[in-house]
Amino acid sequence: MSHRTADVAIVGAGILGLAHAYVAARAGKSVVVFERNPRAMGASVRNFGMIWPIGQPNGAMHQMALRSRSLWLEMLQAAKLSYRPHGSLHVLYRPDEVEVVKEFVERAPGLGYDCGWLDREATLARSHAIQPEGLLGALWSDTEFTVDPRQVLAALPAFLEEQYGVRFHFSTPVRSITAPHLEAGSDRWSAENIIVCSGEDFETLFPGHFAASGLTRCKLQMLRTAPQPAGWELGPSLAAGLTLRFYPAFNVCSSLDALRKRIAEETPEYDQWGIHALVSQTADGALTLGDSHENGLTIDIFNKEEIDRLILRYTHQFLRAPDLSIAERWFGVYAKHPDKPTVVMHPQQGVRIVASPGGSGMTLSFGMAEQSMVELGVLAGDAAHV
Ligand SMILES: Cc1cc2nc3c(=O)[nH]c(=O)nc-3n(C[C@H](O)[C@H](O)[C@H](O)COP(=O)(O)OP(=O)(O)OC[C@H]3O[C@@H](n4cnc5c(N)ncnc54)[C@H](O)[C@@H]3O)c2cc1C
């Protein structure tokens, strides 16, 4: 067994691990990343690729999302990776949805959101992918953008290696950590800081800490169309009325209770499976559709056809595109705490576990990484505006 060293050792090459590698390497640290699979296969390649600050609750989390967004853009430009900078639309078909959005838009400037109300005509002028029948208007925000997660997660390690000399060890599970040492593959490493970004793996490293943390898992069903015809662009990524009851940003609206009540009475099946609907577009032009939310430590390995049917039923009410036939179906799992937006633990001196940005890990990843580096003393406090 050979013995090697780095300033920062990172477990996991999902987006949180890569964001930590980027921020640490940019600060001049020598960084090594271990990923147990031949390539990232977790939540980070199974998502919509939405960088979505509009969903974050006002205050610290929204600020972190905005800071994370800036770091994302910096990284994408430096790595010459493409993204879709088209903003977001929450499209609305019911008067109670309009009421929530108008209330939100009125409070938005004071809360730090840059967004606005669009009437029916202005909404249709913004996107040709929206069903006009019954449309009342939309919440427009240009803060959001979309990456193709499979493309970014595959390309980012090569950029970090070339640009900053980050060392990657794929197909290399980290088996044990006793700081400053860790055992990975056939090597023993030591590092000043060890950062564990193991996603929903609660069993391999520090199982006692994970068990005591209150973290659980969330399973999401997803679908993807075939690539749309060349030249057809989604434009802004789409959400709709069900999303207003899902993202905590909208909890400031007193009119939300009535919306929740109506959905619970009229379509309890959406609440039963935690369904809301988002639409994004991948690099090859396909549309990613989803999703549902089933919480619990034990993940059902089978997808439920009923959930896919409900997601499609709702999505077809607001989305129009040349080809809505489904080419791919899958599910993703993320770690989630019932109350806390993120969980950070220090099981040993020199070890930091960064877990559970839940359904917002793409959005928050670079902001969380910067916060880690400030708290570890790798970056000065004023480097992070969080
Ligand atoms: C279907 C779905 C849609 C989503 N959509 C969005 C979205 O549009 N926008 C958004 O902001 N967020 C979204 N999210 C949330 C986001 O994807 C996650 O919060 C984020 O990807 C978590 O990143 P991670 O790096 O912590 O986990 P992961 O991507 O799961 O990565 C963890 C990695 O650690 C590795 N690992 C674990 N243990 C070890 C070990 N012992 N040794 C070596 N390697 C190890 C695993 O193999 C894995 O590759 C979505 C999530 C899902 C599931």
In whole angstroms, give the CA distance from residue 194 to residue 181. 9
For residue 315, what are its two tokens?
Answer: 């999505």
Q: Which pTM does this prediction carry? A: 0.97
Asked if residues 127 and 238 have their Cβ atoms less than 8 Å apart, the reply is: yes
| φ and ψ at residue 50, rounded to 5 degrees | -90, 125
Closest protein CA for atom 14 of ligand 1? 359
List of residues 6+ apart from 261 with CB closer than 8 A: none
Closest protein CA for atom 37 of ligand 1? 198
Distance 328 CA to ligand 1 centre (A): 19
Distance 238 CA to ligand 1 centre (A): 22
Residuewise pLDDT in 10s, the chain (386 residues): 677 999 999 999 999 999 999 999 999 999 999 999 999 999 999 999 999 999 999 999 999 999 999 999 999 999 999 999 999 999 999 999 999 999 999 999 999 999 999 999 999 999 999 999 999 999 999 999 999 999 999 999 999 999 999 999 999 999 999 999 999 988 999 999 999 999 999 999 999 999 999 999 999 999 999 999 999 999 999 999 999 999 999 999 999 999 999 999 999 999 999 999 999 999 999 999 999 999 999 999 999 999 999 999 999 999 999 999 999 999 999 999 999 999 999 999 999 999 978 999 999 999 999 999 999 999 987 655 43
Neighbours of 176 (CB within 10 A): 12
Distance 368 CA to ligand 1 centre (A): 14
Closest protein CA for atom 27 of ligand 1? 199
* Structural domains in the chain, sorted by start: 2-46+150-213+340-383 (3.50.50.60), 88-142+216-336 (3.30.9.10)
Distance 36 CA to ligand 1 centre (A): 13
| φ and ψ at residue 305, rounded to 5 degrees | -60, -35
